[in-house]
Structures are given as C-alpha cells and as structure tokens.
Structure 1
Amino acid sequence: MSNLVIKVSTEELNNKAAQLEKEKGEMETLMNDMRAKVTSLSDFWKSQSGTNYVDKYQNVTREITASLDGLSRHIQNLRTSAEILKEKDSTTTNDVNRLSTTKMFNN
C-alpha cells in the first residue's frame, strides 16, 4: 500500500459538502417539476405507449433517487471527516503547545 497524503482543510470539506447539498437540492427540485409534468401528461396520454413511458420514467426516477441518496451519504461523510480532522488538528496543536522549549539539547 502506498503512503498517500491528502491535504485538505476542514473549511474545504465543509464548503464542498455545502456545494453538493445545494446541487442535490436543485436536482430534487428539477425531479419534482418533472414528476408533475409526467403526471399531468399521463392524464392526456392514455394508451399503452403512454403507460410504457410513465413506467420507464419511474424506473429512471428510482435510479436518480438512489444516486441522490448516495450523494447524501457522501455529503455526510465529508462533514464527518471535517469534524474528525478538526478534532485531530486541535489535539495535535494542543500536544505541540505542551512541548517544552527549554533544555531541548544537552550540552
């Protein structure tokens, strides 16, 4: 396994989580708008092809919803990572500040 170093700040993690949350909300709004349009369309398109279209649309909607659920988990993971990083940074800073600066070298 290689040694990987990821350099990111808690602020960057939280900003990315907020950006993804916003984009997820926009996608959900678009999905709701499309759902309303397809529902109204099905009132006028009463045939087997109309039913097939609605069925296919519902399948796509389920897939997109599953993707958005995955994105929600990713957003939460980013926020959790930011909190853990913040705690670790704080602990490290406190440990460093407790180090003695006297008698560092024996003469």
Structure 2
Amino acid sequence: MEDEILAELEDIERRIAAKDKIIEEKDQVIGEKDQVIEEKDQVIEEKDQVIEEKDQVIEEKDQTLEENAKALGEKDREIEKKAKALEEKERELAEKDRLIAELRGSK
C-alpha cells in the first residue's frame, strides 16, 4: 500500500514537474511575445510621429498654397488694371491719330 502511495506521489510530482516545465515554456513564449509587442508599439509610435510630421508639412504646404493663390489673385487684378490702362492709352492714341489725320486733311 505504501508503495502504491509513493508511486502515486511520484507520479503526481512528475506531472507537477511536467506542468511546471510547460508553464515555464509558456512564460518564456509570453515574454517573447511581450517583447515583440513592445517592439511593434515602438514602431507604431515612430510611424505616428512620422505621420504627425507629414501632417505638419501638409499644413505648411496648404498655407503656402493659400498664400500663393492670394498673391496670384492680386497679380491678376494688377494685370487687369494695367490692361485697362493700356486699352485707355490705345483709345487716346487712336483719338489723337484721328485728330492728326483730320488736321492734315483740313490743310
């Protein structure tokens, strides 16, 4: 009977030792997976930072684009003013040419 109990205890101890080994292996796997997760978290943080930097660049380029569009609008208005002034000068010159032609014709 004692032998049976001892054999049963030894069997239980072997199973406990086997389960302890499995637990250690799983703990090691968990540790490795935790490390992988930490590395991936770091990569994600770095990518988030890159995205933030790119967002900032986009905002700056949008602002520059708006400023350029505004400047272009102002240049267009200046060109229109100069074109109108040129048309007026051309009308004045045409009128002067007509008057000169009339004066020459009346002599």
TM-score where L is the length of structure 2: 0.51
RCO higher in 1 or 2 (8 Å CA, sep ≥ 6)?
Answer: 1
Q: Which residue of 2 aligns with 1:58?
A: 31
- State the AA in 2 paired with 1:67: K
**Corresponding residue for residue 45 of structure 2:** 72
Alignment partners' CA distance in 2, 1:68 and 1:98: 45
Residue pairs, 1:80-99, within 5 angstroms = 80-99=53-72
Give the 3-state SS of the residue equivalent to 1:89 in structure 2.
helix
Distance of 2:26 and 2:71 partners within structure 1: 67
Offset from partner CA, 1:24-60 (integer Å, 9 cap, x none) = xxxxxxxxxxxxxxxxxxxxxx722211110011001
Name stretches of at least 5 consecutive residues in structure 2 with no aligned partner: 1-18, 88-107
Between the aligned residues of both structures, percent identity stands at 13
- Cα distance between partner residues in 2 of 1:65 and 1:48: 25
Unaligned runs of 5+ in 1: 1-45
CA RMSD in angstroms comes to 2.1
Deviation at 1:89, TM superposition (A): 0.8
Using the TM superposition, give the Cα deviation of residue 78 of structure 1 relative to its aligned residue in structure 2, in angstroms: 1.1
